[in-house]
Structure 1
Amino acid sequence: MALPSIKTLIQGIQHVISRFPMEILFACIGTTAAIIGIKTDFLNDKVSNWSWRVIMTANIGLLVSLSVSLYTESKMIKGKQMYLFKIPAALLAGSLVFFLNPMVQRADITRFCLISLSGHLLVSFSAYIQSASIQGFWQFNKTLFIRFLTSVLYSAVLYIGLAAAMSATKFLFNFDIGSHAYAILWVCITGLFNTIFFLSGVPEDLPALNEDFSYPKGLKVFTQYVLIPLATVYVMILLAYEAKILVEWNLPKGLVSNIILGYAVFGILSLLLVFPIREQAENGWIKTYARSFYFLMLPLIALLFLAAGTRVFRYGITELRYFLILLAFWLLLITIYSLVSHRQNIKLIPVSLCVFALLAVYGPQSAFSVSVLSQTRILTGIFQKNNAFEHGKMVRLKKINKKDGIRAAQTLRYIVEHYDYQILQHYLSQDLNLIADSLANTREMAKVDRFSSQYDLRIKKTEWLQNHLGLGEFSTYADVDDSDQQPANETYLIKDSQTGLLHVTGYDFILEESTTDERGKTNMAGPINFEKSYKGNGLLFIRLNNDSAVFNIKGLVSNLLKDPVELNSHKETNAHSRSTYQYNLPSVLLSISQDTKNFRIIYKINSIRFNGDQNKRVKDITYTNGVFLIKAR
C-alpha cells in the first residue's frame, strides 16, 4: 500500500479547514490556552483561571460549531447563508467564557460537563433533525464512533513515538527540551492532530448513508456475546436484590442506583448496536431481548425512584441526587415509549437525553437552583429548630446537639464550595462581599501564590461562617453530596508546633523518615543499616543493624485523646484543612523513645493524621511523618 504524499496530506488538511473553519479555530484557541496554562504551571491564579475558562469554552464552541456545520450540510446551505448560522452559534458558545468560572464556583465544572455532554449528543443527531431515515442516522453515528476510536489510537501512538524520540534526543545529545515539553506535546496532539484527524473522517455524503446497509459482523458478536451477557448478569443481581427488599422490607442501599444505571447503559447500548439487523429472520432474538429488557426495566426504575427518594427525603436534594432523579425519569420515558410504540425511532434516545441535560444547566428547574433551594431550606430549618433564626436571618447558635451541628456545618461547606457563600447573603446581616475581601487580604492569604488559593479562600469562608454562626466545633469532613450517613469517623491532624531548628545534643545521627525507600530501607553514614516497617495498626518496627525496636504510635495518640482539655488547648483555629480537628502540639508530646542493646532512639513525629470514632478511640492511622534521633551506646 502506497503511503500518502505530502501534497495529499496538505490537501486533506486544507479541505478539513475549509469545511470546518470555526471548529479548527476553537481547537487552536483551546490548545493555546492549555499551553499558556502549562507554561505558567497553573500557578498564577489569574492566568490559570482564564486558561481553564477558555479551554472549557473552546470545547463547547467546537461541539456547537460542528453541530451547526452538520445541520447546514444536511440542508444544503452554502456560501454566506451558511455563516448566518455558524457565526451566531460560535458567538453564543464563546460567550460562556464570561459565565463559567470554576475556580469560584465548583458547580460550574458540573455545568461545563452537562453542556459538553449536550454538545456531543447534538452532534449525533444535528444532521438528521428532520430526516426520517433511521438507517442513515445509525450509519452516521457508527462512522463517528469508529473514527473517534481510531483517532484516539493514532494520537496515543503518535504521542508515545514522539515522546520517546524526545527522550532519546535528550539522553544521547544532552539536549534540554524543557520541563513542559511532554505536556505541551500531548496538548498539541490531542487538541490539534486528534481534532483534525477526527473531522477528516466525518461523512460528507449524508444521503448515501441512507442506502448503506452494511453491518460489521464483529459488532454483532461483541453485542451478542459481551454486552448482552453483562446486562443479563446485572438484571439477575438486581431482581434478586429487589426480592430481598420485599422479603426483609428494608430500604435499598445507595449503591443499587449505580447498578441499575449500569444495567440500563449496557442494555440500551446493546440494542442500539444491533438495531439495523433486528428485522432479519435469523435475528428474531433481538426483538425478544428488547421486549424483555424494557419489561424488566419497569420494576428496576421503581427501585431507582425508591433509592433516590429515600436519600432525598432524609438529606435533601444535591446535584448528584438531582441527576439521579432526572435519569430515572428519562429511563421511564424511554421504557414506556419502547413498550408502547410500534415504530421504534432510536433518535429519541440522544434527542431526549440532550434536552434533559440542557434543562439541568440553567433556570429555576436546573440542578443547581433546586439543590441551592433544598440545602438552604435544610440549613435554615436547623437554625429555626434551634431558635437561631430571627426576622428571616440566621443568628449565632447558643446550643445545638451534635447531629444537627454536623449536618449544619456540612451543609454550609457544600453551599460555599459549590456556589460560593453569596448564596447565603439573604440569610445573614453582614455584608459578605466585605467579609470576602477581608479574608482574601489577610497576611496568611497574601503568602499564597498558587493554584489552590481560591480553594484556600473557600475554606476560610467556610471557617468564618462556622465560627460566626456558632458551628466552629463541628466537622465538615464528610461531603453531604457523597455521603448519606453521618460520618462514622472523625479525622485528626496533629503537627509539631516547634518547627525549624531541632535540638540534637547528645545524639550521633538524625534520620528523616522520608529518606527511606519504598521498602523502608536506607544506608546511613557509618556502620549502621536502617530498616523500618509498619506491622499492625499503629506499630512502627525499626531495625538498626541487629537491634530492633517497636514504637507504639497508636498508643501515643490514644493517650492524647484521653486528655481532651490539654489537647483542645493546642487546637488550631485557622486550619487550612478538611480535617475535623487540627492541633499544634509541642515536641515533647509527640516523641517516643526506645532503648536497645546498642542504641537509644527517639522517634519525633512531625505530623500525623488518623481517624477516630465518636467515642474518641483511634481507628486507623492514615499518615505519619517524623525524624529519628539515634545515639550509639
Structure 2
Amino acid sequence: MAFKLPSINRLFNYVVSTIKRFPFEFLFALAGTWSAVSLSSSYLYGYVTDQWYARTLMMAAIGMPLSLAVSLYKIHKGWPDSRLRSLRYIAAGAAVSFLFIFKPEVYPQHYIHFALLFIAMHLLVSFAAFTGKGNTLAFWHFNKTIFIRLLTGLLYSLVLGAGLSAAFGVVDNIFGVNLNWNYLRYIWILIFGLFNTLFFLAGIPEQMQNADAVGNYPKGLKFFSQYILIPLASIYLAILLAYEVKILVEWTLPKGLVSALILGYAGLGLLAMLLVYPLRDQEGNGWIRVYSRYFYMFLLPLVVLLILAVTKRIDSYGITQYRYFLIVLAAWLLFLIGYFLFYKKATIKAIPISLFLIIMLIIYGPQSATTVSLNSQRAILLNLFAREKLVKQGKLMPVDERKVKPYTAVRMASTLDYILKRYDFQALQPLLGINLEQQENTLRKSWQNNTNIVFDEDSFKIYRTNWVQSYLKLGGYEYRQQYSEEQLENELNTNYYIHTKEALLNLKGYDYMLVKETYADTVSIDTVSGYLIRQGDSFEYDSMILNIGKNKFNFLVTDLAKQIMKQTENLKPYEDQSTPQGLDKRYLLPQKMLRLSQTKSGITVMAQVQEMSFDYTKKYGVRVNSVRAYYFIKFNK
C-alpha cells in the first residue's frame, strides 16, 4: 500500500472543521499567541503596553480551557448549538473580565491568583463532560485520550520546531541571507501557541458517554505504570517510612524537606492509581489491587508527618502562601484517604473535582491564600516590633540597630521583604502611620524627575522598597537570613559608603595636589621642589602612606572611619535619601569632615578623602575596603 501525503485542501478542511468545533478556544489561543509574540519582541510596540500584553496572555491561558470545558459540558448534556453559544458567551465574558481584574504589575499577588485559576480550569476540562453519576470508565478513557494527545502534540511541536530551526540556520549561514533571528523565536511561539493547540483540539473525541468499552489497555502506558511509576512511588514510600521511624526513635521534629518528598510520593501514587484504574479487577493484576488498597493506608501517617513539618514552620515564622498551600494539600489528601477507605461507591472522578473545588475556594475571599498569609505576616511583623517597644498607636516605628538585636532585626527585615515582594505596596498601610497611596505618588514623581532612564515598573518597585526599608531603618538586614543567631551577634557587618557633597577641589593655601593611587599596592614615584615623592608603601587600605623625601606621612583611614561611626546620630542631615540606611549607610558629607592633616619638617600634607567604604563587625572591628583621595602639599618657608 503506497503512502500518500495529505493534500493541502484536506489539511485546510481539517483545520477549518476544528476551528468550527472550537471557535472560542481558537480565538483565545490566537490572542495568547499574539500576546506572547509581542512580549518576546524587542521592537514591536503598538498602542498596547507590555502590561496589557501580559494581561492578555494570562486571560487567554484561562479562557481557552474554560471555553473547552463549556464545549465538553455541552456534549455531556446534548444541548443544541443555540444554547451552547449562550454558555460560551458567558464563559468568554468571564475570561475577558480577567483582562481588567489582573494587574500583576501593581498587585504581585495576582500572579498567584492566575496560577490557581490556570490549574483549576484544566481540572475542569478533565471532568466537565462527566458531572453525572457513573461513567467512571468513560471518564478514565477520555482523560487517557487527551493525555496521550497532549504528549503527542508536544512531541510533534518539538520536532517541527527543531526542524524549522535547523532550516532557518541553514538558510542564514549557507545562503548568507542574514535573517533576523528574532523570527525564530516567533516561529516557536506560533508552533506551541497555534499548531499544538489545534492539534490537541482536533483529537478530542466527539462522543464520550459511549466510551465505557475501554478496549485494549495501551501497552506503553501499562509498562510505564507497572515498571517505572509504581516502583518509583514505592522507593519514595520506603524512604519516608524509614524517616518517620527515625523521628519516632529520636523524638525530633521533621525537617522542611520532608514536605516535598511526601507531596512527591502522593503525586506519583495518585498518578499511578489513575493510570492503572481499569486494570485493578483484571486477572493477573492482583498486585495492582493490593497497591490500590494499601496506598491510602500508607499515605495517612505521611500526611500526619506533613502536617507536623508545616506547623513547625508556622509556629516559628507564621503562614506564608507556600505553607498555606501545604496545609490545604494535606487537608485534601486527608479527605481522599477517608473517601477511598470508607466510602464503598468511591470514584476516581472525586480526585479532580475535589481539587478543583478547593482551589476555587482559596483564590479569593478572607479564606484565600493571599489574604490569610498576608494577615499572618503582618501580625508577625507587628509582634516583632512590639517586643522591641517599637509600636506606637498600632504603627511601626523606625529601628535603632544599636538597641535591637541583629537576629530580631533580620527577622523584621525578612518579613517586611516577603510582604513587599508578594503583595502590593499598600498592603503595609495598616502598619505605617503614613498615607501610602500619597507616598507612592510622591515617590513616582521623584523617580521620574531624578532619573534619566525610561520609567519601568520593576525599577520603581525597587526604589519604592528602598524607601520603606529606609523609613524603618532596616536596609541590608534582609540579606542576612542565612546567618545563625550567634553569627549575627558577632559577624553582622554594617557597611558605610561615604562620598563628598562637593566635586570641586580648592587648592588655595597649598602648592601642589597629588592624586592618591587607587590600589594600595601600586607604587608611584614623582619629584617636586627637589623632593622625591613616593606612594605604595602600604599594602592595606587602613592607612595612606606618602613619603616626601625622608618624611613619612601616615594617614590612618581607620581613625577617620571610627570618627564617622561615633557621629552617626549627627549625620542624619547628610544621609543619602535615595537608598535605605539600616546596615547599608550612605552619607554625602562636606569635604571638611573628610580631611586628615600632618606637618613634618616644614612640610604640611592634607589628605582629602573624596570617597571611601568600610564595614564594621563586633568581631573584627573596622575594615576599610576602598579609598579615593587627594594629597594637598605645602612647603612652609
Fold-level match, TM-score > 0.5?
yes
Q: Is the 8 A contact 2:470 2:582 kept in 1?
A: no
Report matched runs for 1:175-254 at 5 Å. Answer: 175-254=177-256
In structure 2, the partner of 1:5 is 7
Q: 3-state DSSP class of the match of 2:246? A: helix
- Could you say if the C-alpha distance between residues 438 and 487 of structure 1 is closer, same or farther in structure 2, counting changes exceeding 3 Å? farther
In structure 2, the partner of 1:514 is none
Deviates more, 1:416-425 or 1:565-574: 565-574
In structure 1, the partner of 2:104 is 102
CA distance in 1, matches of 2:353, 2:58: 23
Q: Is the 8 A contact 2:474 2:580 kept in 1?
A: no
Report matched runs for 1:464-613 at 5 Å. Answer: 464-469=467-472, 471-477=473-479, 565=562, 581=584
Shift of 1:584: 10
- Are 1:454 and 2:463 matched, yes or no? no
Shift of 1:178: 2.2
The one of 420, 424, 427 aligned to 1:420: 424
In structure 2, the partner of 1:282 is 284
Q: Is the 8 A contact 2:474 2:581 kept in 1?
A: no
Q: 3-state DSSP class of the match of 1:215? A: coil
In structure 2, the partner of 1:318 is 320
CA distance in 1, matches of 2:259, 2:480: 20
- Could you say if the C-alpha distance between residues 565 and 269 of structure 1 is closer, same or farther in structure 2, counting changes exceeding 3 Å? farther
CA distance in 1, matches of 2:371, 2:71: 33
In structure 2, the partner of 1:409 is 413
In structure 2, the partner of 1:166 is 168
In structure 1, the partner of 2:504 is none
In structure 1, the partner of 2:629 is none
- Could you say if the C-alpha distance between residues 560 and 574 of structure 1 is closer, same or farther in structure 2, counting changes exceeding 3 Å? farther
- Could you say if the C-alpha distance between residues 99 and 146 of structure 1 is closer, same or farther in structure 2, counting changes exceeding 3 Å? same
Q: Which amino acid aligns with 2:238?
A: M
Q: Which amino acid aligns with 2:134?
A: A
CA distance in 2, matches of 1:617, 1:150: 64
Shift of 1:477: 2.6
Q: Is the 8 A contact 2:476 2:582 kept in 1?
A: no
Deviates more, 1:314-323 or 1:244-253: 244-253
Report matched runs for 1:123-142 at 5 Å. Answer: 123-142=125-144
- Are 1:268 and 2:289 matched, yes or no? no
Instruction: Output one character per residue of 1:304-342: Cα deviation in whole Å (capped at 9) or x when no partner.
Output: 000000001110001000001011111111111111122
CA distance in 1, matches of 2:165, 2:617: 49
Deviates more, 1:485-494 or 1:162-171: 485-494
- Are 1:438 and 2:442 matched, yes or no? yes
Q: 3-state DSSP class of the match of 2:40? A: helix
CA distance in 2, matches of 1:289, 1:296: 10
Query: Which has the higher Rg, Structure 1 or Structure 2?
Result: 2
Q: Is the 8 A contact 1:478 1:487 kept in 2?
A: no
Q: Is the 8 A contact 2:475 2:580 kept in 1?
A: no
Q: Is the 8 A contact 2:68 2:125 kept in 1?
A: yes
Report matched runs for 1:318-357 at 5 Å. Answer: 318-357=320-359
Shift of 1:60: 0.2
- Could you say if the C-alpha distance between residues 2 and 564 of structure 1 is closer, same or farther in structure 2, counting changes exceeding 3 Å? farther
Q: 3-state DSSP class of the match of 2:209? A: helix
Shift of 1:40: 3.7
Shift of 1:87: 0.4
Deviates more, 1:569-578 or 1:434-443: 569-578
Shift of 1:94: 1.1
Aligned length: 546
Q: Is the 8 A contact 1:392 1:427 kept in 2?
A: yes
CA distance in 1, matches of 2:216, 2:239: 36
CA distance in 1, matches of 2:493, 2:152: 46
Shift of 1:5: 1.2
- Could you say if the C-alpha distance between residues 440 and 22 of structure 1 is closer, same or farther in structure 2, counting changes exceeding 3 Å? same
Q: 3-state DSSP class of the match of 1:207? A: coil
Shift of 1:136: 0.6
CA distance in 2, matches of 1:435, 1:51: 28
Q: Is the 8 A contact 1:388 1:397 kept in 2?
A: yes
Q: Is the 8 A contact 2:467 2:580 kept in 1?
A: no
CA distance in 2, matches of 1:401, 1:144: 58
CA distance in 1, matches of 2:335, 2:452: 50
CA distance in 1, matches of 2:618, 2:263: 35
In structure 2, the partner of 1:28 is 30
Q: Is the 8 A contact 1:567 1:583 kept in 2?
A: no
- Could you say if the C-alpha distance between residues 217 and 394 of structure 1 is closer, same or farther in structure 2, counting changes exceeding 3 Å? same
Deviates more, 1:101-110 or 1:341-350: 101-110
The one of 457, 462, 466 aligned to 1:463: 466
- Could you say if the C-alpha distance between residues 436 and 217 of structure 1 is closer, same or farther in structure 2, counting changes exceeding 3 Å? same
- Could you say if the C-alpha distance between residues 616 and 461 of structure 1 is closer, same or farther in structure 2, counting changes exceeding 3 Å? farther
Unaligned residue ranges in structure 1 (runs of 5+): 499-504, 508-551, 586-606, 619-633
Q: 3-state DSSP class of the match of 1:71? A: helix
CA distance in 2, matches of 1:420, 1:188: 34
CA distance in 1, matches of 2:267, 2:415: 32
- Could you say if the C-alpha distance between residues 584 and 285 of structure 1 is closer, same or farther in structure 2, counting changes exceeding 3 Å? farther
Unaligned residue ranges in structure 2 (runs of 5+): 501-514, 518-538, 544-555, 589-611, 623-637
Deviates more, 1:356-365 or 1:37-46: 37-46
Deviates more, 1:43-52 or 1:108-117: 43-52
Q: Once superposed, what is the RMSD of the aligned Cα atoms?
A: 4.0
- Could you say if the C-alpha distance between residues 32 and 43 of structure 1 is closer, same or farther in structure 2, counting changes exceeding 3 Å? closer
Instruction: Output one character per residue of 1:359-417: Cα deviation in whole Å (capped at 9) or x when no partner.
Output: 22111110000011101111111222222222232233454222222111111221122
Report matched runs for 1:329-408 at 5 Å. Answer: 329-398=331-400, 399-408=403-412
In structure 1, the partner of 2:154 is 152
- Are 1:117 and 2:119 matched, yes or no? yes
Report matched runs for 1:74-93 at 5 Å. Answer: 74-93=76-95
CA distance in 1, matches of 2:364, 2:109: 11
Q: 3-state DSSP class of the match of 2:241? A: helix
CA distance in 2, matches of 1:210, 1:578: 68
Shift of 1:197: 0.8
Instruction: Output one character per residue of 1:418-467: Cα deviation in whole Å (capped at 9) or x when no partner.
Output: 1122112233222212211222222577647569x323222222222222
Flag as ranges the 4+ runs of structure 1 deviating above 4 A. 41-46, 443-446, 448-451, 483-498, 552-556, 559-585, 612-618
Shift of 1:235: 1.1
TM-score (norm: length of structure 2): 0.77
CA distance in 2, matches of 1:560, 1:349: 69
Shift of 1:45: 12
- Could you say if the C-alpha distance between residues 579 and 5 of structure 1 is closer, same or farther in structure 2, counting changes exceeding 3 Å? farther
- Could you say if the C-alpha distance between residues 391 and 576 of structure 1 is closer, same or farther in structure 2, counting changes exceeding 3 Å? closer
- Could you say if the C-alpha distance between residues 402 and 86 of structure 1 is closer, same or farther in structure 2, counting changes exceeding 3 Å? same
- Could you say if the C-alpha distance between residues 227 and 495 of structure 1 is closer, same or farther in structure 2, counting changes exceeding 3 Å? farther
Q: 3-state DSSP class of the match of 1:329? A: helix
Q: Which amino acid aligns with 2:421?
A: E
